[in-house]
Copies of this chain bind each other. A is one copy, B any other.
Amino acid sequence: MKIGDVAEKSGVPAKTIRYYEEIGLILPAKRSDNGYRRYTEDDTQTLHFISRARGLGFSVEDCSNLLALYQDRERSSADVKAIALSNIGRIQHKIRELRAMEKTLSDLADRCHGDARPDCPILEDLSEFH
């Protein structure tokens, strides 16, 4: 398989696959005589794994760890769970932050009449010290 094929199958763009190779997240692909990268079904699996983990908010470094754990038949599920839990914590924290932002902004927008008049509670709030 060439890079375009594995890109389509795994859902990871060719550019991104080359990038993952460059940063060492995946092993350098073997090359054909013409210099093209060659891939197998296993590579498709690996890239899909990465794609799904990234979609769940794991960092590239997390992916590297998860991949190592995935390939280690001896690893304990506790190791994996620890990474997942710390990620859940970060996600929850981010959600709380965003909710606070949203609430403040919504309150301000509600109080702003939003017409041609220049007075605006949003700007007034931003310019005040709290």
Contacts and interface: CB of A to CB of B under 8 A. Distances in A.
Interface of A: 45, 48-49, 52-53, 55-57, 66, 69-70, 73-78, 80-82, 84-85, 87-88, 91-92, 94-95, 98-99, 101-102, 104-106, 108-109, 112-120, 122-123, 125-127, 129-130
Contact of A102 (B81, B92, B102): B92
Contact of A56 (B48, B78, B105): B105
A92 to B, nearest CB: 6
A66 B123 contact: yes
A82 B70 CA distance: 47
Contact of A123 (B55, B80, B105): B80
Contacts of A49: 126-127
A51 B126 CA distance: 9
Nearest to A121: B77
19 contacts: A48-B127, A52-B125, A52-B126, A56-B101, A56-B104, A69-B123, A73-B118, A76-B115, A77-B112, A77-B115, A77-B117, A77-B118, A81-B120, A81-B122, A84-B122, A87-B105, A88-B102, A88-B106, A92-B102
